[in-house]
Amino acid sequence: MSESTNKSGPETVLIIDFGSQYAQLIARRVREAGAFSLLVAPDTPIEAFNEHNLVGIILSGGPSSVNEEGAPRCSEEIFNLGVPVLGICYGMQLACSLLGGKVEGAHAREYGRSSLQVVKNEGLFRGIPADTAVWMSHGDQVESLGDTFDVLATTSTCPMAAVAHKTIPFYGVQFHPEVTHTPHGVELLRNFLYEICNIKGTWRMTDFMEQQCKLIKEKVGDKKVLCGLSGGVDSSVVAALIHKAIGHQLVCVFVDNGLLRKNEKEFVETTFRDHFDIDLRVADAAYTFLTDLEGVTEPQLKRTKIGHQFIEIFKESASEIEKESGEGFDYLAQGTLYPDVIESGHGYSGEAANIKLHHNVGGLPEELGFDLIEPLRDLFKDEVRKLGEVLGLPDGLIWRHPFPGPGLAVRCLGDITEEKLRVLRDCDEILLEEIVAANLYRHTDQVFAVLLPVQSVGVMGDGRTYESVVAIRAVETQDFMTADWARIPYDVLATVSNRIINEVRGVNRVVYDISSKPPATIEWE
């Protein structure tokens, strides 16, 4: 059982990530069970563990072999912290090795579903059937443990599929309880948290909100914070949270780059200036952006130009506000999320880190010389939406589909003109109206129209036309890393097509994109 602690903050489970593709999934499962969780690198100093209200530690799986040179390891001191430790796959093998066991290459490697026989139906396996399916993915396994461990479960090829140390609160499982392919895996993780770690399960989004408000107040003091508001979910939740914490010490800047959806500026102004009484400044920079993009057709050049102009306009806006008020800004607020931090390798040096550089992690703060405030950097996307609900943001904003930073520039293929943007906005508005009317908006993850740089022959009335082609893109995804095209009902597609061709001047053909990601990307450019 875990020792009680007087440390403030939420009950926290630290997950030492050895490079598992499922590490983030473990973190989510813990949070869903009612405890806070964070991923840490194997070489995290043991002193850092004591900074948290620590109730448990989980050692993730990973692609390495415990016996190979350079394999990631963690400090043996984790077993002296007075909290239970659960090892999963590689995490089990490493811990057993550190505690005197022997790990060898398995005689029969297990990949996929396997049948598990539970030996001790208590503690970790309380309420779990004696025979159950689990998901295995390992080449090594524990071969011998001596008399300091109890065997909790076995498979036909893995006699030590789950173990517990007799004197140290360590438990190990060779399979992956965090994946859906292990039917009772969530129950096992909850058993570890509630039966072994003795968590109270009190972590809630309201607690997170109150804690962040307190931290923001302490960090900012009487200084001012600048926030770039895009109208998307992340920046909107950041703005609402910081405003709740420090009120009018927050100033938001919304840059109208001329590449927004129809009525987007009005929507943002109404929501934040009127509903939340936030100090919102709108930079009308459409002419500057569109002039700079004139004749540009290459997608990456579009993105580069838009990014550069955004920084320049944002800097100008910040300077104007400072001159007007006589006060400078010390902090810049950003909507960086937990997956962004992990994938970019910032603030975490785990074995699976540094996958990509994310647009929210670096760049603008260096240009402006501000300190960063990133109150969402420990949250997943669905948790950000929950926080938005707690903050009172309208459903229409919380559940908005993602909109690319370069806006309609990457949905208007080829060169960009005011007329093409008009056509695209009108098409996009009709598409979203019909998706909402068909109750499909919350069942899809991203839906939008794309104006193609081709024209086709058509017949309208009794005359021949030669007008633009519009593509419809609708996808379903869990993480936006992979995606499948959404099976929109034919009658809905027919209505969208008929309305676009009949109502939008300049379009005579509508096509539907049925490519998945990969190999295609979600956006066309």
Residue 286: strand, helix, or coil: helix
CA distance 196 to 55: 10
C-beta atoms surrounding 159 within 10 Å: 13
Who contacts 339 (Cβ-Cβ below 8 Å, separation ≥6)?
Answer: 24, 380, 381, 479
Who contacts 245 (Cβ-Cβ below 8 Å, separation ≥6)?
Answer: 212, 213, 214, 216, 217, 220
CA distance 325 to 320: 9
- Decide if 178 is catalytic: yes
Q: Are strands 250-256 and 279-284 parallel, antiparallel or unpaired?
A: parallel
Q: How far is CA 240 from CA 215, 382, 454, in A?
A: 15, 17, 42
Sign of CA dihedral 471, 477, 483, 487: negative
Q: In the numeric block, which tokens belong to residue 349?
A: 């040096």
C-beta atoms surrounding 292 within 10 Å: 16
Residue 360 near residue 335, CB atoms below 8 Å: yes
Q: HSE, CB side, 13 Å, CA atoms: give it for residue 492.
A: 18
Residue 231 near residue 403, CB atoms below 8 Å: yes
- Decide if 89 is catalytic: yes
Closest to 43 in 3D by CA, of 23, 70, 22, 61:
70
3-state helix, strand, coil in the chain (%, to 5): 35, 25, 40
Closest to 173 in 3D by CA, of 120, 232, 249:
120
The residue from 11, 110, 178, 429 that is catalytic is: 178
CA distance 302 to 487: 31
Q: In the numeric block, which tokens belong to residue 450?
A: 């794309």
The amino acid occupying position 442 is R
The residue from 11, 52, 74, 89 that is catalytic is: 89
The amino acid occupying position 198 is N
Closest to 302 in 3D by CA, of 413, 428, 454, 403:
413
The residue from 52, 138, 165, 176 that is catalytic is: 176
CA distance 108 to 157: 7
Burial of 83 (C-beta count, 10 Å sphere; 0-12/13-18/19+): buried
Q: Which residues are known catalytic residues?
A: 89, 176, 178
